[in-house]
Chain A
Amino acid sequence: MFTRILEKVAGRPVSVLEKSITIVLIVIFLFAFYLALDANKYSAQVVVIEGEGKVGVNPTDESLDFGDMSPGTTAVRRISLQNGTAIPVYVAVFRLGSINDLMKLDKNFFTLKGNESTKLEFTTYMPASAPVGDTLSGRVFIFKIPGPWSGSKTTQ
């Protein structure tokens, strides 16, 4: 049936090689789709306020909300990651948005072994040039790729 569908789409008979390539591409697509669905996704934001040493806290665990921060202050948020399977996962964190310039991550691109857990620490520092009154926002995507990984060097 798969061959018939392929031949209907192609409008001609397909070779074994073409069928194999199609199957590989479908598997890759499904794997990528699974990774995208399984990824942890967080919105991140911080509001720049006037003053010295002021930090306003928003105690939500559904997003990386650093609350209100005045220039010169630092805030930290942590995300717990747990690998509940026996298969190691390779963790890759991608960050987008204006807040990414100010937000540092303690570790990235590392292997989390089976049945292990760890914490990712996001630290935001508000510099002197931060525009007071502005909201800096962004998105954080934490991809977990299962595979036969061994322990690897972590980077920031």
Chain B
Amino acid sequence: MRKAIRTILEFGIYIAIIAGIVWGVPNFLSWKLQTKYPIAAITSGSMWPVLQTGDLVLIQNVPKNELQIGDVVVWKNTNGFTIHRIVKLNELTLVTKGDANFSEDVPVSYDDVIGKNLMWGKKPVRLPYLGYISIWGAHIKQVYAEK
């Protein structure tokens, strides 16, 4: 009887730790990086080789006056989010371009900028392959939605 209770308790603690990590880590990152969207998965090769498909990147909030040309920023568009590098800063808008692209993106309002890629020295923080979890999840969701 004592052994059964101990097993149940250990299992419960294990589940609580997993739930704590799954719920706690995004919330902690959101608080620490001061943004609603602290994590993003790279879904295309438009920033190759700096950021590659399947990478998981961390996004931190950045005030408009701290944005600089060369920063890798995340901005909202009609299809989701875009993660590209700033090439021009205008009064009301900024212009970005993917490193691997030849053409610049359409100008974006500063209000649509979610934040910028968290940096480690001069390199962006990226977690290779972890972004595939989100990519596969979105793909499975789309497949079921179409059915």
A23 to B53, CA, bound (A): 42
Residues of B contacting A102 with CB < 8 Å? 45, 48
Q: How far is the CB of B100 from chain A (nearest CB, A)?
A: 3
Within 8 A of B (CB), among A58-73: 71-72
* Nearest CB in chain A: distance from B98 CB, A: 8
* Chain A residues whose CB sits within 8 angstroms of the CB of B52 once the complex forms: 101
A8-21 interface code vs B (CB 8 A; 1 in, 0 out): 00000000000000
Q: Give the complex CA separation of A102 and B52 in angstroms.
A: 10
Q: A127 at interface (Cβ–Cβ under 8 A)?
A: yes
Q: Do B102 and A128 touch across chains, with their CB atoms under 8 A apart?
A: yes
Q: Which residue of chain A lies nearest to B102 when distances are taken between CB atoms in the complex?
A: A128
| Chain B facing A: main interface SS | loop
Chain A residues near B109: list those with CB within 8 A.
none
- Number of B residues near A (Cβ < 8 Å) is 11
CA distance A37 to B45 in the complex (A): 33
Query: Is residue A80 contacting chain B, with contact meaning CB distance below 8 A?
Result: no
Q: Which residue of A lies closest to B52 (CB)?
A: A101
CB distance from B95 to the nearest CB of A (A): 16
Is A101 a contact partner of B49 (Cβ separation < 8 A)? yes
Instruction: Compute how far the CA of A95 lies from the CA of B16 in the bound complex, rounded to whole angstroms.
Output: 39
| Interface presence of B71 (CB below 8 A) | no
In the complex, how many angstroms separate the beta carbon of A82 from the nearest chain B beta carbon? Answer: 32
> Is A152 an interface residue, CB under 8 A from the partner?
no
Give residues of chain A (65-87) contacting chain B, Cβ–Cβ below 8 Å: 71-72
Q: A101 to B128, alpha carbons, bound, how many Å?
A: 13
Bound form: Cα–Cα A128–B46 in Å: 9
Using Cβ atoms and an 8 Å threshold, which residues of chain B touch A128?
99-102
Asked whether A129 is an interface residue with its Cβ less than 8 Å from the other chain, the reply is yes
Residue of A nearest to B46 (CB): A127
B77: min CB distance to chain A, Å:
20
Closest B residue by C-beta to A104: B45
- Shortest distance from the beta carbon of B63 to any chain A beta carbon, whole Å: 28
Option from A72, A101, A131 in Cβ contact (under 8 Å) with B102: A72
B99's partner among A72, A101, A129 (CB-CB below 8 A) is: A129
Nearest-neighbor residue (CB-CB) of A71 within chain B: B102
Contacting residues of chain A (114-131) with chain B, CB-CB under 8 angstroms: 127-131
Q: Considering the complex, give the chain A residue whose CB is closest to the CB of B101.
A: A128
Q: What chain B residues lie within 8 Å of A72 (beta carbons)? A: 102
What are some 13 contacts across the A-B interface (CB < 8 A)? Answer: A71-B102, A72-B102, A102-B45, A102-B48, A127-B48, A127-B99, A128-B100, A128-B102, A129-B49, A129-B50, A129-B100, A130-B100, A131-B49
Residues of A within 8 A of B (CB): 71-72, 101-102, 127-131
5 extra A-B contacts, CB within 8 A, seeds A128-B100, A128-B101: A101-B53, A102-B45, A127-B101, A129-B49, A130-B100
